[in-house]
Amino acid sequence: MMSLQHAPADPALETLLGPLQQGELSWPSASGLFLNARDGSPLHGRSLPGMVCVQGFKPYVDALRRSGFEVEPEPPIGRRFPLVLVLPARQRELARALYAHASDLLAPGGVILACQANSEGAKSSEADLERLAGPLQVRSKNKCRVFWTQPDATVDTPLRDAWRALDTPREIEPDGFISRPGVFAWDRIDAASRMLAEHLPSDLTGAAADFGAGWGFLSMQLLERCPGVTTLDLFEADARALDLARINLARRQPGRTVAHHWEDVTCGVSGCYDVVVCNPPFHTQQAGDRPDIGRAFIDAAADVLKPGGRLWLVANRHLPYEATLDALFHPVRIVAQQHGFKIIEATKRIESGRAAR
């Protein structure tokens, strides 16, 4: 794991804490709440007693807990905080819902403090909070905007109720799956996943796993198209997405043997499988292309597949996964290339030095 000393800079997190470091705001003596929290060196430069972090992305959760912070996957019910920090999501509906939750959880006389990078819609986000909670104090630094308000009676209650409802899971037409803003491809079937599903052969059998399962589309398609699959394990780092996958699988494939694992695949997983399917992420919430994530997914698949087990993978055509695949699998074949994607089938080397589990 990357230490904080060597972690990449986080301008939004640094700028968020600026008003506290400069004395414009004070950390409350009791506790504060941090919505969409993530760890980083700016959190360790001062005492933040009693901070409660809300985060559902497993790598961020693990990092925060290693640093000793209390972490919850969803906003706590029934508690009020004199200070609520927010790193708004890029997805605007989720960002608005976060502001509604911040208002719900704010103690009388409390302050909402938020920050967003200019390149991620800071001005729009600032306008949203002002619309909800009234006049703001605003500062600019590190190509970010930090802004705060002490709303009291200025909160637009009907707007808050409407924005809170944006975070509610709902049925997405015309496909009928259950989703909510903020998860990957929340309101559509991702084109790469659809392409992989269309190429899955019906002869896949035995124990299967879906790495990076999202809200469950590939898992549903695997069970529908491959009747020989006997068990299915879903691995997903986003707790919100995994909860949706649980609902969607229960609705679409009732009675099937399915397990759900809130885990970061890049850290490795346990199990023994005949089949792994995946559409691995290739970026993070703070960075551009990250082919190392896809390579870690491939490595994890090689660890848990039985000799002769099959990996079915979709990726953007430009991502350099072939060397990793060739080192761990044989044969490796490109099944299809179109619309900027490639579908790959790779068979676990029977003579591989990795022990079968």
pLDDT digits (tens, 9 = 90+) for 238-258: 999 999 999 999 999 999 999
140 and 222 co-located in one domain: no
Domain with 226 in it: what CATH number?
Answer: 3.40.50.150
pLDDT in tens, 14-42: 999 999 999 999 999 889 999 999 999 99
189 and 293 co-located in one domain: yes
At CA 224, angle to CA 219 and CA 226, rounded to 5?
90
69 and 198 co-located in one domain: no
Of the pLDDT bands very low, low, confident and very high (cuts 50, 70, 90), residue 44 is very high
pTM above 0.85? yes
19 and 106 co-located in one domain: yes
Q: How many CB atoms lie within 10 A of CB 238?
A: 22
Name the token pair of 254.
């009732």
In-domain check, residue 356: no
15 and 45 co-located in one domain: yes
Of the pLDDT bands very low, low, confident and very high (cuts 50, 70, 90), residue 347 is very high
In-domain check, residue 270: yes
CA-wise closest residue to 52 among 33, 29, 68, 66: 33
In-domain check, residue 353: no
**pLDDT at residue number 284:** 55
340 and 191 co-located in one domain: yes
Q: Of the residues 147, 165, 183, which one is the last residue of a structural domain?
A: 165
Q: Domain tally for the chain?
A: 2
In-domain check, residue 138: yes
In-domain check, residue 254: yes
Structural domain span for residue 50:
4-165
In-domain check, residue 333: yes
283 has a pLDDT exceeding 70: no
204 and 280 co-located in one domain: yes
CA-wise closest residue to 209 among 134, 281, 260: 260
204 and 141 co-located in one domain: no
pLDDT in tens, 150-191: 998 899 999 999 999 999 999 999 999 999 999 999 999 999
> How far, in Å, are 105, 154, 190, 308 from residue 340 at the CA level?
44, 49, 13, 29
Q: Of the residues 109, 144, 165, which one is the last residue of a structural domain?
A: 165
211 and 290 co-located in one domain: yes
Sequence-ordered list of residues with C-beta below 8 angstroms from that of 110, at least 6 positions apart, any chain: 80, 81, 82, 83, 84, 150
242 and 259 co-located in one domain: yes
Of the pLDDT bands very low, low, confident and very high (cuts 50, 70, 90), residue 45 is confident
- What does the chain come to in residues? 357
239 and 196 co-located in one domain: yes
In-domain check, residue 313: yes
What 3-state DSSP class applies to 262? strand
Q: Of the residues 149, 165, 181, which one is the last residue of a structural domain?
A: 165
Of the pLDDT bands very low, low, confident and very high (cuts 50, 70, 90), residue 355 is very low
177 and 151 co-located in one domain: no
In-domain check, residue 298: yes
Do residues 342 and 198 make contact, with C-beta atoms less than 8 angstroms apart? no
Estimate the crossing angle of helix 217-225 against helix 239-252, to 10 degrees. 30
